[in-house]
Amino acid sequence: MNRRSGMKIEFAFHNETEAAPLSSAYTDTVAELMESDGDVVSLDADLMKAIKIDRIQERFPGRVLNVGIQEGNMIGMAAGMARVGKKVYAHTFAPFITRRVFDQIFISSAYGRNPIRLYGSDPGICAKFNGGTHTAFEDIAMMRTIPDICLFEVTDSAMFKNLMRATRDENRIIYFRADRAPAVKVYGDSSEFEPGKGVVLKDGGDVTVIACGIMVSEALVAAEKLEKEGISAAVIDMFTIKPIDRELIVEYAQKTGAVVTAENHNINGGLGDAVASVLAEEEPAVMRKLAVRDEFSEVGPMDYLRERFRLNAAGVIAAVKDVLEHK
C-alpha cells in the first residue's frame, strides 16, 4: 500500500485488462451518487445506450436525461441546473464536450460560476473507428485555459469511481477524460486518490517518466524492460493535469535530472507542456515529450494507432534513451 498525503494507493498492475469498461465505472457511480444525493442529475448527448446509462432511467425518473445531438444546449442546461443547486454530470465524446461547446463551458459554467462535471469519452486514439471528426487530440490544451478547472485523465475504473465520489461537491468544473472501453488495471479497488497529487508507481534514479491515462500502463511496461538494461526509471501517474502536482515534478526533476512525459494528446498544450512550464520556472531538466506530433488522427484499431503514433512502451523506451543521451 503506497501512501502519500491524502491518498491510499493499492498497486495492482499485472498488465491485464479489466473485465468491465470504463464507461460502466461512470454509469455505476452516477447511480450510486443519485441514491445518496437527490440533487445529482445526468445529461447525455445521444450516447446513453453507448454507456448504458439508460438502464437507470426508471430508477431515477426525471434525473437521467437524453438531450439528443445538441451538445451546446446540454451545457447550457447543465449550467442552468447548477445555478439552482443541482450536481450535473454531462457526457458525450471528448471533442463534442470540449471543442464543440467551449464557449458555453467558458461563459455559462466557468464565468457564471455554475459548476458542472463533464465526462469526455474516447479521447485521442481511443476514438479508434469513430472517425476524424470524433477524435480529440486538443481537448486538454483547450480545457487547461479555463480558470479554476479540475482536469483528470483517468487511468482505470478504481480511479474513475474514487475521483467521482471525491469531487461530487466541488464548486468548480470537473473534466474527466477517459476511454469507454476496458482499461488496463493499475489500482486496487480500495485505492483513494487526492486531486492535484500525482502517484509514484515506481521509483527510479536515472529518469522520470510522467504519464497519464492509457500511457500509464505503457510506461510501467517500459520501465520493467529498461530495468533489465540497467536503466532505473521512475514512473509517475499524473492523473490531475490541472492543478498539476508541481512539488512532485520538482522533486523528481532534482532526483533524476531527466524527464519524459507520455500522453494520448497533441504535443501542444497537454501534459508535456504543463510539466515543461513547471520545469522552466522551478527546476530546469532535460526533457522529452512523447505525444501526437501536431497532426490529425487516423481511423483504425487501437494497436495500429498506438504503433502509428508511438503511444506504446516502445515509444516510451525510445524517448527515455533519447533524453538520457542528452542528460
Give which of 71, 73, 86, 85 is closest to 41, Cα–Cα: 86
Q: Is residue 71 helix, strand or coil?
A: helix
Tell me: the pLDDT tens digits for 19-40? Answer: 999 999 999 999 999 999 999 9
Q: Provide the grid cell at 3.
A: 501512501
Q: Is residue 133 located within the same domain as residue 239?
A: no
Q: How many CB atoms lie within 10 A of CB 254?
A: 12
Indicate the pTM of the whole model: 0.95
Tell me: the pLDDT tens digits for 58-89? Answer: 899 999 999 999 999 999 999 999 999 999 99
Q: Is residue 108 located within the same domain as residue 250?
A: no
What's the average model confidence in pLDDT over 172-182?
97
Q: Is residue 51 located within the same domain as residue 103?
A: yes
What's the average model confidence in pLDDT over 141-162?
98
DSSP secondary structure, 189-222, as one string: TT-B--TT--EEEE--SSEEEEE-TTHHHHHHHH
Residue indicated by cell numbers 512523447: 290
Range of the domain at 207: 199-325
Q: Is residue 162 located within the same domain as residue 239?
A: no
Indicate the angle between helix axes 22-36 and 157-166, nearest 10 degrees: 30
Q: Is residue 140 located within the same domain as residue 219?
A: no
Domain count, the chain: 2
pLDDT band at 49 (very low <50, low <70, confident <90, very high): confident
Q: How many CB atoms lie within 10 A of CB 221?
A: 19
